[in-house]
Chain A
Amino acid sequence: MSETQSAAGVIHDLGYRRYDGPRLGRAQIVRALIWHSFRSSFGIGRGVKAKIVPILACVAMLLPAFVNAFAVSRGSARLFGYDVYTPQLRVIVVTIFIAAQAPELVSRDLRSHVLPLYFSRPIRRGDYPLAKYLALTAALLLLIEVPLLVLYVGTIASAKNGHAVWGETKALIPGLGVGLMWAVLMAAVGLVLASLTGRRAYATGIVAISCFLTWTVSELLIQAEGGMTSTSTGARIAGLFSPFNIMDGVRIWLGGTSPGEDADPGHFGPLYGIVAVLLLAACLGGLAARYRKVSRA
């Protein structure tokens, strides 16, 4: 009798169970947060609406690569340079992507005041922005580099010989490097701007307007100073007003051959490099400072 009772008790009321198993250390907790954030930057684990922008962005970025593969199979040469891909489309898609997804990563948490729950767990203050930054960088890398790889595969599929494949590979590698620079810098820019406010619409507006506006202003100034072929100091400095044109200047300075958005920075090249590094440092520093403040609140 008592035996059946206790058996029934076990089945119907498990009671509170302790957990004495292994616990993950801080590094693994941060890794879990990165993975979670990386998924949500593509809307995975969120509703259907959250997936619209990421899917459209990926499609828009991939389309030229597939068009290229088709054209190459018909006997044309490769249509896009690996180091610039489709310059203006890339600027627009990347801007839209970070304007939509950087707030997804940081503004939501600010809005719902969920951060005290994060900071009451065994991570450090800097871990949260670091995880968000690495997640968005990885998402941007995927968005930017996968089309390059498709472009590459589509081109070498029609390659005549090993020499042509080797030539393509040599052209691809700097292109991947430029993509990495884009991901690293734009993730920082997007996150620091998005983390200014918990209101998502505002955050999206701030990111989008900042990126587009600076880009437009920079482009206009370059045009006013004689356009992309200009070697005037004014045109060379005008490129420094937009993160996209800074990166383009760095690309050209480092030996990129495809014509891009920028005037050739010429001897201003190192300045572009320094400004890019300073911008990255400022954004990451701003992000860290932002969360140092939040975690005390």
Chain B
Amino acid sequence: MPSTEAPAGPLSPAVWETAVVETRALTKVYPGNVTALDGLTVDVAAGVTGLVGANGAGKSTLIKILLGLLLPTEGQAKVLGHDCQTSGERIRTLLGYMPEHDCLPPDVTATEFVTHLGRLSGLPPTVAKERAAESLRHVGLHEERYRLIGTYSTGMKQRVKLAQALVGDPRLLLLDEPTNGLDPAGRTAMLELIGRIGAEFGISIVVASHLLGEIERICDHLVAIEGGRLLRADTITSFTRASQVLAVEVEEGLAQLQQELAARGLAATLAQRTLLVPLGGDDTYDVVRDAVADLALPLCRLERRRHQVEELFRDEEGAAHV
């Protein structure tokens, strides 16, 4: 007899608003004294959160602890208000997980596979079938879903992996390197899809990636970890605030222009063939325009640009090491 464990109801709004993931001094030491997580304390708010760090920073270990598959050596982790060490099963009814590596059998169709995993998420047979079809449609697989997975391209396989995470109607998706192995167009499409799931489906997402520049496009928050420790956690806007620059490109006379701008009080830095000018206010545009006009240089680009968050990290790390 089906038990009525609806996942949506019992969550109090308070939990919803505070954090979908909370960790306190979370430490994981693997046998052989390999420290994957080292006292990580972080709160992840609802929405789309990027979990960034280099390979080996502890992202996958954190995800496995959140899934209740690994027990932490020390510390505590909570997902949607449930303790990972004691309520693993309950948490896993609320989570969708997309692993980093290949995890699809080649000899079944996507429909069969996602339906089967829907059943394992606790859906009754007919619901599993319906939701499998819907999930595959949401990720952009239509008629292809009746083909064997072995015949799929890498991009389509990634979509099936995402569909199986969605099929159980999770409250939180954990995506581990979802753009792995995709070409640039495939990456963009996958990121758009994830962004849409976060924005339109009302599902919170933690997306782990070592490519910061890529996931910052779709994230509301960023959590950066390194060596199992928290580097920084904040909203994406505060990461990028006060980091606006103006990119100026001229066909010739870059050095000349740099001098001229310096004379007018703007410390422009040269990056390859572009001058980056700190954007103070609207008058910066005027100063640059006047400088270019006075020197009669052929201007070919003038655009406002954001520092890639990656650069911010690099700066901070640099500062920390000095």
Contacts and interface: CB of A to CB of B under 8 A. Distances in A.
A23 B3 contact: yes
Contacts of A111: 105
Contact of B2 (A18, A23, A119, A123): A23
B3 A24 contact: yes
Given A25-B5, A122-B90, A14 B105 contact: no
Interface stretch (A27-35, A176-184, A239-247): A27-35
Contact of B120 (A22, A46, A121): A121
Contacts of A28: 2, 122
B120 A29 contact: yes
Contacts of A21: 6, 124, 127
B95 A120 contact: yes
A122 B103 contact: no
A22 B124 contact: yes
B4 A22 contact: yes
Interface in B95-124: 95, 97, 99, 101-108, 112, 116-117, 119-124
Contact of A46 (B9, B107, B131): B107
Nearest to B95: A120
B7 A112 contact: no
Given A19-B131, A22-B3, A295 B69 contact: yes
B93 A114 contact: no
A112 B8 contact: no
Given A15-B200, A122-B92, A22 B2 contact: yes
Contacts of A45: 112
Contacts of B70: 296
Interface residues of A, number: 38
Given A21-B127, A120-B95, A295-B69, A112 B119 contact: no
A26 B107 contact: no
B164 interface: yes
Contacts, number: 116
Nearest to A46: B107
Contacts of B89: 26, 122-124
A109 interface: yes
Interface string A254-269: 0000000000000000
Query: Looking at chain B's contact residues, is the secondary structure mostly helix, strand, loop, or mixed?
Result: loop
A199 to B, nearest CB: 14
A295 B106 CA distance: 21
Most buried by B among A18, A32, A118, A121: A121
Interface in B121-145: 121-125, 127, 131, 134, 138
Contacts of B119: 29, 32-33, 36
A8 interface: no
B95 to A, nearest CB: 7
Contacts of B16: none
A33 to B, nearest CB: 6
Contact of A121 (B92, B99, B138): B92
Most buried by A among B97, B106, B121: B121
Interface string A23-59: 1111011001100100000000111000000000000
B168 interface: yes
B69 A296 contact: yes
Nearest to A125: B69
Given A117-B97, A122-B90, A122-B121, 19 more contacts: A16-B197, A18-B169, A19-B131, A21-B6, A21-B124, A23-B3, A23-B122, A24-B3, A26-B89, A32-B125, A36-B119, A114-B104, A116-B99, A117-B103, A118-B120, A121-B117, A121-B168, A124-B89, A296-B64
27 contacts: A14-B134, A18-B169, A20-B9, A22-B4, A22-B6, A23-B4, A23-B5, A23-B123, A24-B122, A24-B124, A26-B89, A28-B122, A29-B119, A29-B121, A29-B122, A32-B119, A47-B107, A114-B103, A116-B97, A116-B103, A117-B117, A120-B97, A120-B99, A121-B120, A121-B121, A122-B90, A122-B122
